[in-house]
Amino acid sequence: MKSFARSLIRSKLWLALLAFACVGGSHFVSDAQGPVVGGLVTVRLQDGAGNALTSAARGSERALSVQVVDGSGNQITSFSGSGVSHIDDAAFTPATDDISPIGIMFDDVSPDTLNEGDAGIPRGASNRVPYQIIRDGAGNERGANVDASGNLMVNLGVRIDATNDSIQLGEGSVLNDVLDLTNSNPITVAIVDGSGSQITSFGGGVQYNEADTDSTITGTAMLWEDTSDTLRAVSAAKPLPVNIISGAGSGGTASQDDSAFTIASGNGTPVMGVVTSDTVDSGDVGVVAMTESRSLNINLAHLGGNAILTGGANGSLAVGGVAAHDASATGINPILNGLFAVAHGSDPTAVAADDLVRWVANRDGVPFTIGGHPNVQTVEYLATTAQTNDAIVTVSAGAKIVVTHVQVLVDEATTVGVAVRIGFGASTLATLPTDGNTATGILVSHAGAIPGGGLNKGDGNGILGIGADDEDLRITCEAATSGALRVVVSYYTVDS
């Protein structure tokens, strides 16, 4: 009742029991509501202000509504310290679900024992680590010993005989020798058959003789079987057949040195190169070098020697003799340039335009040559009046005029001598030189060609003069009174 009274006082409850009397088993209350039969008393509970306290149904009983307060009278609305609960065999979410900490008891002096079915707190050491006991498969508790170094002691049934360098495994008295090798100390073992007898001899399986016939090899002999199921010993004459699988590359073909090769039917092995400047040592084998455009790099050496010929621009071959210009030619053979001999009175074989041709000579080795140009042009110029820097032949930029023949003739009917100058000039001829001076680019110059006369220069086989780029062939002359001046020119043009 004291405990109950204190609860009522702390909850600020006042028991409004104004009067209580028991007479002959009947109970009365002070509010004169009348007697209560059956040993029950009607009680009104109210607070200090006379307000009736409330109650709520809890199952089949009605309970008084109360507040739990602290020592200062403040209501306690939340409770902690009781941990959390979790349904048995239910999923647990790490970092989300709560857990309750577990406590242990440090008691190594006289720990209490539990009865079957009792609950209890686990024991642990002073460093808060719980004790554990190892159990076997049948659930029996088994102790384990750990030495000062932290090693778990186990019993393997091993006996070591240090005197004889032997070790005994398991029961019995037979010792196994331990070999003292450089890099290890192995235990000797014996290989036995199914009956436990030691195997002391090892063979290579079923042995065969060379040329034996067997459709299925059951042994481990180093033989190979050909298409007729005949076993062959591996040798240089009969090596192991090799099957090149996809992606392994092609081994190409082989041809015997100095043997005939048939075009379009014989097989060849492609040659591959590498773009590199690396060299190999004498006697070494190496991949041939090539350029980035897949052209093989080659070196040409002197005949009968190994000195590499050098020189020439990129992509060209420089060929030269062994003697310098103006050096003595004693004991030096010339570089021969062979020609095709054609007898006098015979025609050389004609070829189509743009084809290569061979150079011909007579049977004594004297070359046949024709001077000039394959496209020599001939032009005639006529003048009756005086002309100044008039063009006979014109060219455009990027071309030059090459003159091989000039002929100047004065009409016999002309009554006076005619002065004439022919040469090259972009727009004008060089000025007539004064006494003791010169003028350039002039091919023909005559102070007064007489009527019925003239001059002839060149025969068309040689070059009389070459104009500069974009220079025309021009003429300046006097009037051929009562007659005419005729000029005939042979020429061809070349790229500048």
Closest CA to 332 of 349, 315, 320: 320
- 462, 404 contact by CB (below 8 A): yes
B/e letters for 389-398, b = 16+ CB within 10 Å, e = fewer, are eeebbebeee
What pLDDT was estimated at residue 31?
Answer: 47
Q: Cα angle at 387 between 384 and 391, to 5 degrees?
A: 110
Pull the structure tokens for residue 445: 């110059």
| Alpha-carbon separation of residue 60 from 57, 98, 155, 449 (angstroms) | 7, 35, 67, 162
User: Which pTM was predicted?
Assistant: 0.39
Indicate the CATH number for domain 377-495: 2.60.120
DSSP code at position 224: E
Q: What is the pLDDT of residues 123-143, one digit of tens each?
A: 988 998 888 888 888 888 877
Q: State residue 354's pLDDT score.
A: 87
Instruction: State the Cα–Cα distance between residues 293 and 188, nearest whole angstrom.
Output: 66
What pLDDT digit, counting tens, does each position of 67-78 carry? Answer: 888 888 888 877
The 8-class DSSP code of residue 64 comes to: E
Q: Which helix (H) or strand (E) holds 5?
A: helix 2-10
pLDDT value at residue 24: 38
Dist CA 105 CA 128 (whole Å): 9
**Alpha-carbon torsion 57, 62, 64, 69, what sign?**
negative
E strand residue ranges, 370-484: 377-383, 387-393, 399-410, 418-425, 442-449, 454-457, 465-466, 472-477
C-alpha dihedral (201, 205, 211, 216), degrees to nearest 10:
170
CB-based contact 311:331 (threshold 8 Å): no
Q: What is the number of other CB atoms lying within 10 angstroms of the CB of residue 22?
A: 10
Residue tagged 């009917």 (tokens)? 413
Nearest by Cα to 169 from 190, 199, 147: 190
Q: Which residue has the tokens 């809890």?
A: 58
- Counting DSSP H helices and E strands in the chain, the numbers are 1, 26
Contact 252, 270 (CB under 8 A): yes
C-alpha 405: how far from its chain's center? 70
Residue by residue, DSSP assigns 353-369 as: TT-----EE-TTSPBP-
Strand-pair category, 418-425 with 442-449 = antiparallel
Type and span of the H or E element at 45 = strand 44-46
Ranges under pLDDT 70 in the chain: 1-42, 79-83, 155-165, 168-172, 203-207, 214-221, 245-252, 300-322
Phi, psi of 6 (to 5 degrees): -65, -40
Structural domain boundaries in the chain = 2-64, 337-369, 377-495
- Output the six-digit token pair for 183: 């890099």
**Is the CB of residue 376 less than 8 Å from the CB of residue 490?**
yes
Cα-to-chain-centroid distance, residue 7 = 86
